[in-house]
Amino acid sequence: MSVAEIIDNAQKMEAKSFEALYSKLVAIRVQRQGIPLLNELESDLLKNINSEFDPEKLERLRYLDWKMEFGALTEIEEEESLELAETYETYSVQRLKNLSQLAALRQISLDDLIVQLDIGS
């Protein structure tokens, strides 16, 4: 089959079939270039690692921390600050677990993974 015939057939495909064909062609191209495909677990780990903590919650936590430095927190704000801090800690711990799991999957150190992903501070 020639390239022209493949393109002609692709133009006649339904959108869903065309997208499936396109995905497979991209996968073939990546494999030929020697770039390893991500498995589902690695893909999920990267998605979780790259998800950010809610910016509004982080901004609020920083504001409450700032107020705490000056001893200006109300009792309600103190409770809110503790809840936000716990939520952020849970997020950070889960992110670190995902990073550790991905490093183990790739058989590299956590430090090397952080450099590889360019996520160091």
Domain span at residue 17 reads: 1-37
pLDDT in tens, 7-40: 999 999 998 888 888 778 777 776 777 666 678 8
Same structural domain for residues 69 and 111?
yes
Say yes or no: 108 and 81 in one domain: yes
pLDDT of residue 120: 75
Are residues 58 and 110 part of one domain?
Answer: yes
**Which pair of structure tokens corresponds to residue 12?**
């006649």
7 lies in the same domain as 48: no
Question: How many structural domains does the chain have?
Answer: 2
And the tokens for 40?
């589902």
Q: Can you tell me the mean pLDDT for 79-88?
A: 98
DSSP secondary structure of the chain = --HHHHHHHHHHS-HHHHHHHHHHHHHHHHHHTTPPPPPHHHHHHHHHHHPPP-HHHHHHHHHHHHHHHTT---HHHHHHHHHHHHHHHHHHHHHHHHHHHHHHHHTS-HHHHHHHHT---
pLDDT in tens, 33-72: 766 667 888 989 999 999 999 999 999 999 999 999 999 9
pTM: 0.65
Same structural domain, 57 and 6 = no
